Amino acid sequence: MRRSRLPITLLALTALVGSSLVATAPAGAEPTAPSGADHAHDHPHSANSVRIQMTGAAMLEKVVAAGFDIDHGLRRVPDGIEGEAVVTTEQVAALKAMGVQVLDDDEGFEWSEEADGGLRSLGARAVPSYSHEKTVRVVRADWFTTKGQGFLYVEARTTEGQQASPIVAMQLENDSGQGTPFGFARTMSRFVDSGQYMFHRNLFKLDARPSQIRVTSSTGGVTTGTVSNWLEDAPPPLTARPGYQSDFVDGYQHPQQLFSRAKEIARQYPDIAEIVYLPHQTNGYQRKAQATIGGTGQEAVVVSSAAWGHEGGNDITVEFVDRPGANLPLTVEVTGKAVRVLLAKDASGALASTAAQVAAALESQSQGLIDRAHPYRTNTGTGIVAPTAGPVALSDFLDEKRVGAPEGEVPRGPASIPVLRIGKHRDGRNPGVLIQAQDHAREWVPATTTLETAERLVRNYKTDQETKKIVQDTDIFLILSNNPDGANYSFYNYASQRKNLTNHCEDANADPARRNSWGVDLNRNYRVGSGHDGYAGASTTCTSGTYQGPEKLSEPESKNIVWLVEKYSNIKFMMSVHSNGGQLFWQPGAYIADGRITTPRPPLGDEAFYWQSAGRILSQVKAHRETVVTPENVGGSSDVLYSSAGNVREDMYHTYGIYSFGWEVGGSVYNPATGNWQGGSFQPPWVGDPALVSGHAETMEYANGIMEMFRIAAEWGKDKKKPTSELVPGGGRYRGPVDVRFETSEPATVYYTTDGSRPTLESPRYEATEFREPGQVFHVTETTTFRWFSVDTAGNIERNYDPTKNDRRDNYRTATVTIGG
Ligand SMILES: [Zn+2]
């Protein structure tokens, strides 16, 4: 492949807000009120959800590495990251010692709403005139409304953003509609992540929609941009269609309810639905029976049964016995399930067995009843063990139901996860869409949202034309809960459970008081951008909320996803549904902190397709009750939030080319009564205030969004239309240097050459100016011939050009920009 030096200079010029390359129009808003799920907690310690603020990704990383349970409800604020932590009182103190700010539950960050008086912070400097070598670019300028209130969200970059001294100040002004003057100057917030300047950004309340904005930098750059709409003028949702049935789910559903309904649907609608069982069984809702005997000092012993609690472990008792006499050896007697440790005595008749000795004796002499015994946590067990008052019963603690847990027995033992597959043609001919809910156990709304979409599909199939089209043209795979063991634990034992029930902890963390911290974060267990390869945002600590597991794909729940997409290679779309945060993500989702090196960015065509899809999906969410997911919460998750190493989306997109979204449903909603954004929670009241935080309302609105994703997949599968593209302003003769760029008729990636060679898929790809910006601008200084073609996301190539064949009919596009003469 020839790739000689380009006879052009590539300059990053103004962002073309609203260009056809990035078919989007966004706006943003920032919630203020912290979430704060009303979790019920039980022992071993009572934990609460508190809102915290960290200075940035580095502090977040430290806090996570220290084992704190922090994820979701995280959002970027101008001076750091705000999040929700599930912590005990002691942990709050530890967080504060690390420099973390613990926010009052009722207050939170609030974006500035008013003009600040203009150039005060910039000093009285003259504003330079427009130059093509602009130092300021508008990344996005978005307008949206919700519940009668308008908002303007702006992101802008300066080429001097990284410089430390002086820090560049950026000022934003807007007009009040076409032809009106700029005014209302305010200072923008600088967003720095992992030591890297990202951009400046702000969200403002506004009453009138501006037409233009102007951004001025303290180092002299100024630029204007056109305001786009974000989620305005959404088409009516399917639920508004005459005769359309919806609102089927009437409360939170535990995994048994979810799976039994899935199987029932497959039985009721055999022509369009079936169950596919995932092959890797889970750990199961089961634990070893345990006890920590003799306090927590050097004389304490932690014992665990060989059998699962429900398979006999719970029947075991352990007793430490003091016998009369002197010079007695340490021995263990076993009668049935009663284990008696006869403690040693020395010559003077004093007790003489240490905790370490007792533990060793239990492991070797309990006739297989106890397979793990050790001193407490990091103790070496040098203390002399005291007799117990009597037999101590071991427990798996699973029967100790938390207050408010649903009725019924939870089935013990490994679970087989059923996938509800819906589609008229389930033979691979149609694009597959995988919806994976509840990787994180405490996130209950994703499960009900996914079940609601299943009900809508099967019950409207016969009567609603749009539903029929979806079912005929797609192959849908619904995993209503991908973490049933953890979900049961969340329903029945510990509401804030996030991870699965596999325990990889060594002795130091194996005592039952740590049981609410065991498990693997399934969304950190995948192979691409993994913590095992140095990516940030996953923990190696087994008790951390983001524990990545002992190796990549160590867990059956993540192995299952890989199995599914490999077996059904027609799966081209996936959505990993989480709560809560009001965010819609794609790639990149992870980076190496040093240098902030992300996983590869999707090509511009994919990026544009993601934005276009996001606009459609979120418009349908908004159509239900005006909930707006704001543009600052949409995009590559590591760009807008933080790095999450080993998440499922990176693996699905980079390994299999699956368009992979991550969704945080149940985010903030604007409350016109207070003028603030009210945050969501993991388990909001099912009904609650239907206009604000409500599991039911979130289920209904986000099901609208998933339904739109099905439509996107259906259209993608039918897409035979070839893209077209143009060089703008185009070939021809120019007196002097000229700026050109590509535009495409739909989301598509352009491959081009300027060295006379025919373009192929190996040729340079037309890239974004910078991330979250439209395509680059070429500053052409001497005569140049561009040769190119475009490929849309469905694989259609412009003019049917075949870049792989060197035939005579080279049907690519060409344009010559002639300079001078
Ligand atoms: Zn989650």
What does the pLDDT look like over 130-159, one tens digit per residue? 334 458 999 999 999 999 999 999 999 999
Residue 12 has pLDDT above 60, yes or no: no
Inter-residue contact 780 to 10 (CB < 8 Å): no
pLDDT tier at 48 (50, 70, 90 boundaries)?
Answer: low
Separation of 443 CA from ligand 1 center, angstroms?
6
Tens of pLDDT, residues 460-512: 999 999 999 999 999 999 999 999 999 999 999 999 999 999 999 999 999 99
Separation of 586 CA from ligand 1 center, angstroms?
14
Separation of 624 CA from ligand 1 center, angstroms?
23
Separation of 139 CA from ligand 1 center, angstroms?
29
Q: What is the pLDDT of residue 347?
A: 98
Alpha carbon distance 86, 102 (integer Å)? 12
Alpha carbon distance 678, 73 (integer Å)? 11
Separation of 90 CA from ligand 1 center, angstroms?
25
* CA distance readout (Å), 803 to 316, 322, 379, 738: 71, 85, 67, 28
Higher-confidence position of 46 and 123: 46
pLDDT tier at 357 (50, 70, 90 boundaries)?
Answer: very high
pLDDT tier at 332 (50, 70, 90 boundaries)?
Answer: very high
CA-closest candidate to residue 131, choices 215, 10, 220, 19: 220
Separation of 684 CA from ligand 1 center, angstroms?
15
Separation of 277 CA from ligand 1 center, angstroms?
23
Separation of 721 CA from ligand 1 center, angstroms?
37
Separation of 64 CA from ligand 1 center, angstroms?
15
Separation of 618 CA from ligand 1 center, angstroms?
19
Provide the percentage of residues in the chain whose pLDDT is more than 90.
79
Is residue 609 helix, strand or coil?
helix
Alpha carbon distance 385, 378 (integer Å)? 17
CA-closest candidate to residue 186, choices 161, 165, 216: 216
Parallel, antiparallel, or unpaired: how do β-strands 475-479 and 571-579 relate? unpaired
Separation of 72 CA from ligand 1 center, angstroms?
6
Separation of 546 CA from ligand 1 center, angstroms?
10
Separation of 579 CA from ligand 1 center, angstroms?
6
Instruction: Specify burial of residue 291 (Cβ count, 10 A radius: 0-12, 13-18, 19+).
Output: buried
Separation of 437 CA from ligand 1 center, angstroms?
9
Separation of 528 CA from ligand 1 center, angstroms?
18
pLDDT tier at 47 (50, 70, 90 boundaries)?
Answer: low
Residue 179 has pLDDT above 60, yes or no: yes
Which helix (H) or strand (E) segment is 412 a member of? none
Separation of 438 CA from ligand 1 center, angstroms?
7
Alpha carbon distance 232, 506 (integer Å)? 53
Higher-confidence position of 378 and 102: 378
Separation of 541 CA from ligand 1 center, angstroms?
18
Separation of 320 CA from ligand 1 center, angstroms?
44
Separation of 465 CA from ligand 1 center, angstroms?
34
Q: What is the pLDDT of residue 40?
A: 32
Separation of 439 CA from ligand 1 center, angstroms?
6
Separation of 583 CA from ligand 1 center, angstroms?
11
Separation of 708 CA from ligand 1 center, angstroms?
22
Tens of pLDDT, residues 200-239: 999 999 999 999 999 999 988 999 999 999 999 889 999 9
* CA distance readout (Å), 681 to 412, 482, 693: 29, 20, 8
Q: What is the pLDDT of residue 339?
A: 98
Separation of 123 CA from ligand 1 center, angstroms?
45
Provide the percentage of residues in the chain whose pLDDT is more than 70.
90
Separation of 580 CA from ligand 1 center, angstroms?
8
CA 206-210-211 angle, 5° bins: 165
pLDDT tier at 91 (50, 70, 90 boundaries)?
Answer: confident
Separation of 159 CA from ligand 1 center, angstroms?
35
CA 38-435-711 angle, 5° bins: 120
Separation of 685 CA from ligand 1 center, angstroms?
18
Separation of 638 CA from ligand 1 center, angstroms?
15
3-state secondary structure 153-212: EEEEEECCCCCCCCCCCEEEEECCCCCCCCEEEEECEEEEECCEEEEEEEEEEECCCCCE
Alpha carbon distance 340, 148 (integer Å)? 72
pLDDT tier at 64 (50, 70, 90 boundaries)?
Answer: confident
Tens of pLDDT, residues 711-764: 999 999 999 999 999 999 999 999 999 999 999 999 999 999 999 999 999 999
CA 638-101-698 angle, 5° bins: 55
Inter-residue contact 287 to 486 (CB < 8 Å): no
Residue 101 has pLDDT above 90, yes or no: no
Separation of 435 CA from ligand 1 center, angstroms?
14
Supply the DSSP string of 331-372, one letter for each residue: EEEEETTEEEEE--B-TTS-B--BHHHHHHHHHHHSTTSEEE
The whole-chain average pLDDT of the chain stands at: 89
Tens of pLDDT, residues 532-544: 999 999 999 999 9
First to last CA, the chain: 32
